[in-house]
Amino acid sequence: MAHFTVRSLPFVLLLCSSRSSEAYRPVFIVHGLFDGPKQFKTLTNFIQKVHPGTQVTIPDLYPDVLSVWPLWTQVKVFRSKLEPLLKQAEEGAHLLCFSQGGVICRALLSVMPSHNVHSFISLSAPLAGQYGDTDYLKKIFPKYLKKRIYKVCYSRLGQELSICQYWNDPHHRNKYLKYNNFLPRINGEIQHNYTNVWRENFMKIKKLVLVGGPDDGVITPWQSSQFGFYNINENVSTMRNREYYRSDVFGLKTLDTRGDVSVCVQSGVGHVHWHQNYSVFSSCIQQWLT
């Protein structure tokens, strides 16, 4: 008893404080179309303020205009960067992915075997596809409207552009399935040799967090951020009514049945504000980053 003196106290405190900072799993952020690590400083600050000591990594890959590069190439390069870092995270890690980055992460989690990602937080991503006229589209196709984009996108050449790889025109479903070599494959709308392996890999996540909302202004329909999408008459059918959910072809239904899908809908948030809005962070994100 007597030798438990004041002198040993600082040492004990030091141990405690280093424990508590190590308690937060590292967070990896994947940026969106036409942005890069610069745009995620605010989000990094939010995380490190509420969870001091959290290691936050934002790979500087395909930033800004390079983000239109074909997605399978991007997935390969992100994978080569992230996979070794994930392996170092002995207690697992979180993926926080914005917009197009959400689609990249979706693919990463399918192709990476035995990954250790706990929370996959998708921040307003076109997970079920995109069909809408937006400023982003105008940057790439100044003269086209959404009704005609399929002619460009659903071709071998079009598939060299990231945006075409999640372009989902509900009026040209056969062409979408035939020519889109990205989204229909990861969402199991086209079956292939790896469908079941990818499903197993994806289901290894502990939590799927789907953040989005009606005032987004870019993701169209906005419900795509939660796996809902247009049917042929442009009505939106929600996640649980989509064929890929019902057939559980990539594990979404299993995750949902397990109670591991958290949907967070927020109004009043424009597309570029999702990762800079503290109210969104504290209501939808913070709790999953432990």
Contact residues for ligand NAG, defined by CB under 6 A: 193, 233-235, 266, 268-269, 273, 277, 279-280, 283
What's the min distance (Å) between Cβ of 232 and ligand NAG? 9
Catalytic, out of 31, 118, 271, 275: 271
DSSP string, 116-185: -EEEEEEES--TT-B-S--HHHHHH-TT--HHHHHHHHSSTTGGGSGGGGSB--TT-HHHHHHH--SHHH
The two three-digit tokens of residue 95, written as one number: 């993926």
What's the min distance (Å) between Cβ of 193 and ligand NAG? 4
Q: Which is nearer to ligand NAG, 41 or 258 (CB)?
A: 41
Catalytic, out of 216, 224, 225, 275: 216
- In the residue annotation, 94 being an active-site residue is answered as no
Residues present in the chain in total: 290
Backbone conformation region of residue 32, classed left if phi is above 0, alpha if psi is from -120 to 50, else beta: beta
Q: Which is nearer to ligand NAG, 55 or 195 (CB)?
A: 195
Q: Are 289 and 47 in contact (CB under 8 A)?
A: yes
What's the min distance (Å) between Cβ of 87 and ligand NAG? 26
Q: Can you tell me the distance from the alpha carbon of 53 to that of 244, in angstroms, rounded to the nearest whole number? A: 39
Catalytic, out of 31, 35, 67, 99: 99
Q: Which is nearer to ligand NAG, 144 or 278 (CB)?
A: 278
> In this structure, which amino acid lies at residue 1?
M
Q: Can you tell me the distance from the alpha carbon of 206 to that of 215, in angstroms, rounded to the nearest whole number? A: 29
CA 139 to chain CA mean position, Å = 23
What's the min distance (Å) between Cβ of 197 and ligand NAG? 11
Q: Which is nearer to ligand NAG, 269 or 289 (CB)?
A: 269
What's the min distance (Å) between Cβ of 27 and ligand NAG? 20
- In the residue annotation, 216 being an active-site residue is answered as yes
The residue of the chain with the least Cβ separation from ligand NAG equals 268
Q: Which is nearer to ligand NAG, 62 or 98 (CB)?
A: 98
Q: Can you tell me the distance from the alpha carbon of 154 to that of 101, in angstroms, rounded to the nearest whole number? A: 21
- In the residue annotation, 237 being an active-site residue is answered as no
The two three-digit tokens of residue 44, written as one number: 């990094």
Any idea which residue has 């959400």 for tokens? 102
Active-site positions read: 99, 216, 271
